[in-house]
Structures are given as structure tokens and as C-alpha cells.
Amino acid sequence: MNDKLARWNKLKEICLRCTACPLAARRTNVVFGEGVLDSPVMFVGEGPGEQEDLQGRPFVGPAGQLLDRMLAAVGLSREKNAVICNIVKCRPPGNRTPTVAEGEKCLPFLRAQVDIVRPRIIVCLGATAVRHIISPDARITRVRGQWAERKGFWITATYHPAALLRDPSRKVEAWEDMKSLQAKMKELGLPVNS
């Protein structure tokens, strides 16, 4: 664990100094990611919003509060057994969707985070994560709830919590996705709180 923590902290230091794209010029804080580094599950969102930029932590605004409730419903939390990151580490102006180029500049950080944590499962939260992790042509409405194994990782997707706040009718599908995550954890022999 100490090696993981040392690698994580070194990567974070590098990320905090990053100026590879224009998002760096407007940020208040880099939102690197957080959680337990021995976690079996990593959640990957789009990028920081206003509250995340102010606090330097991922998913702390209203969408983050919903995400925490979703995780708790299947026995997960960032404090005990999950890691939460984003495609981009700096807030896009006005919370707009990160450009492909911005995402590409930040992907080496995410890849390094995955390499450090080595989760068994990666959950894409929303369309931006789906396009960068699953396929540029993938659409969240088509791939959510499906599973693919790639390079030793099980990958799935569900709606971004912010999208669920805008369209609560999708919460039923998101709940099905979370139950599927719980089932996959059981199938892989990972500890699950029912």
C-alpha cells in the first residue's frame, strides 16, 4: 500500500503543476481524484464542476451527493472501497463538456491512476467518460449497463449523476446499472454489502 500511496502522491504533484491545456489557466484547484487505493472499483466522471473546483475534490456538489447515495445503496463509498476520478482534472468554463483535445491531454493522468489502483471494475459515469474509455463512437444510452472486459478490467457505464438530477426518470435505469455492478462484484468474488 505504501508504494501505491507514494506513486499516487507523486502523480498528484505532477498533475497539480500541469499546464498542458487551456483549462489550467482558469482553475482554482486541480481535482485529482480520491478514494481508497486498494479499491476494487473506480468511478470515472467527466470533470470538475464549480464546487469541485473550489474544494479540489471530485463529486462534492449536488451530483456528488447523489453519487454517494448511489454508492452507499450497493455497499460502496470513497472512504472504504471505491476511487473516484474524472477524465479532466480542471473545470471547463461554465461546466461545459470537455473538448476531445482537453480529454486527451488529461488521459495520461487517468491511465496512471488506473495503473496505480488496479481496480477490477471501472464504471464510466456519463457520455464523456464513455467516449474516452469505451469508444469515441459509443453512446451512453446504448452502452449503459453492458459489460466488457478489456486488459484485465471489467468496464461498464451508467448515467452521470448530474444527468439524473436533470432527468430523474433515468434513475430507474441507473439503479438497474448499480444492481448490475453489485452482481458483477459478487461474480468476481469481491466483498459486497447487500
Model-level pTM? 0.96
Full domain range(s) for residue 62: 2-187
Residue 49 lies in a domain: yes
CATH code where residue 6 lies: 3.40.470.10
User: What is the reported pLDDT for 191?
Assistant: 83
**DSSP conformation class of 150:** E
Q: How many domains does the chain have?
A: 1
47-67 confidence digits (pLDDT tens):
999 999 999 999 999 999 999
Residue 193 lies in a domain: no
Residue 192 lies in a domain: no
Residue 7 lies in a domain: yes
136-183 confidence digits (pLDDT tens):
999 999 999 999 999 999 999 999 999 999 999 999 999 999 999 999
Percent of the chain with pLDDT over 70: 98
Residue 194 lies in a domain: no
